[in-house]
Amino acid sequence: MDLQSWAVEEFGHADVGDARRRKRLVRMAARVAEAPAGTVSAVFRTTAEREGAYRLLSNENVDWKEIAKASHVACVERCRGERVVFVAEDGSSLNITDTGQEKGTGPIGARGKGARGFQLMNAIAITLDGVPVGLCGQTWWARAEEADTRNGKAKRAEEKETRHWYELAGEVDALFKNHGDKDTIPWFQLDRGGDAWAVLADAQRSGRWVTIRSSSDRRLESGPDEKRSYLRATIGATPVLGAYRLPVTGAGGRAPRTAMMEVRTCPVTLHMTDDRSSKVHRVPVWAVSAKEVGTTPEGEKPLHWLLLTTRPVLGLEDAHLTIYGYTQRWRVEEFHKAWKTGACDVEDLQLRSEDGIRAWATLLAAAAMRLLRFTYLSRHTPERPATEEFSLDEIHAVHLARDTDWNGKRVPTIGQMTRWIADLGGYVGKSSGGPPGMIILARGWERVAPIVPIVSRLRRLQGWNKTM
């Protein structure tokens, strides 16, 4: 899909007051995706474009929430026809320069460091075959200036922010019900930060599918003998259901190898206590364990994932699907990288109003997700025709940037286009450490983007071949 079509699909139905503003928003989104950068001045070429962007971002009648909603709805609508969609959910923060404390920011990180910005919870949709679809939910908030120290005990902000995990999941659920296929089921994937009684209890109460990586050895509901039992010992005593081989890269201090992973699963009832009220919550879930056996190098701990899920696990196939679903969660971390410090540099923004910051960050988030999707497709389905993701003008522009000819008759593949764009961005092949990443691709596209409108204009003026 070419950039203009993508921008129309992503923001063409945003409720921003009138058609003129909506048209400008779509043009802005296309330009941001074409040449993403943290500042408005770095994205738009002309003074008129920059002034128009600033006017829209500072317009009090333009609600950034409606811009975000349009993008989230577009993502959900792209999921139509899918039986199950993994929804990777994770928290992050944006470090925003706010020396005068005029932008609605709050403390982030260690309070003594003085950093300011916003906390966020993001949710991205991923198909069963691992293709990132888009951002389907996002929540912003600013932390209080002072930590809560009631009752003589400091309460960490993170503890009070647990609600954002399940509130965002509820919002995404509603979007799928109202704008997606009634048969599509979102299956939420959370890391250890979401391992809390309130998150699991809310999922049980609402019938929501959630998988969470366990953060501790949870106490289980006592049996008839009233002896205490715990999660790790209980699942460790269950029979091995099956095994699989897992390729392990050399990243993160681990030796590269093919790990042998044993799978166990069993239903358990968690005995979870609310630290504030001391109330006990009994939450039935399925536990799934994937643990490395016999292949761990000396000096390393074996790989071990212990997952809690509200989706029934009735056999090895269900267990494998649960584990696979959780492996897709890391795509939200890739999104954060592309959005924050990779290709989009959202933390470089210099806008002054809180609403303007959020609206601009939303456009950059959509561009980051588009880049993440393209990077995935280029690695996993490189044989697909490039016209599925690029316009013919964009393909011509890549050839012009490379100083090569294209007659428009033989359409390149996504894999070929990816390599050409990466080469323009400085990619040096496998010696650089692997396939081209988002930063290299974004850098290459910066050289292509200015050529696209020239190609489009020449085609219109000179009547280039109709196949183009």
Domains of the chain with bracketed CATH: 65-337 (3.90.350.10), 381-462 (1.10.740.10)
Spell out the residues 6+ positions from residue 214 whose beta carbon is closer than 8 angstroms to its own.
192, 195, 231, 287, 306, 307, 308
- pLDDT score recorded for residue 157: 42
Structure tokens at 300: 């390393």
d(CA 228, CA 26): 59
What single letter denotes the amino acid at residue 280? V
The string over 209-243, giving b where at least 16 C-beta atoms fall within 10 Å of a residue's C-beta and e elsewhere, is: bbbbbbeeebebeeeeeeeebebeebbeeeeebee
Closest CA to 125 of 182, 172, 81, 170: 172
Spell out the residues 6+ positions from residue 46 whose beta carbon is closer than 8 angstroms to its own.
none
Cα 205 → chain centroid: 26
pTM value > 0.75: yes
d(CA 420, CA 426): 10
Per-10-residue mean pLDDT, the chain, length 468: 87 94 95 90 92 95 96 96 96 93 90 87 96 96 76 50 94 96 95 92 94 92 78 95 91 88 96 80 94 94 95 96 96 93 89 94 96 88 89 90 82 92 86 73 86 83 57
Spell out the residues 6+ positions from residue 448 whose beta carbon is closer than 8 angstroms to its own.
394, 397, 398, 401, 421, 424
Place of tokens 């993502």: 75
Q: Beta 84-95 vs 106-107: how paired, if at all?
A: unpaired
- pLDDT score recorded for residue 253: 81
On whether the CB atoms of residues 309 and 210 are closer than 8 A, the answer is yes
- Tell me which DSSP letter residue 342 carries: I
Structure tokens at 418: 């990816």
What single letter denotes the amino acid at residue 433? G
d(CA 262, CA 292): 6
Strand partners, 23: none
d(CA 467, CA 451): 19
3-state secondary structure of 401: helix
Burial class (CB in 10 A: 0-12, 13-18, 19+), 325: buried
At 124-163, the pLDDT tens digits run 999 999 999 999 999 999 998 876 655 544 454 445 789 9
d(CA 453, CA 243): 54
Spell out the residues 6+ positions from residue 405 whose beta carbon is closer than 8 angstroms to its own.
399
Spell out the residues 6+ positions from residue 206 whose beta carbon is closer than 8 angstroms to its own.
170, 173
**C-alpha R_g of the chain:** 24
d(CA 202, CA 165): 10
Give me the DSSP letters along 347-363.
GG----SHHHHHHHHHH
Residue 235 main-chain phi, psi, to 5 deg: -75, -25
- pLDDT score recorded for residue 182: 87
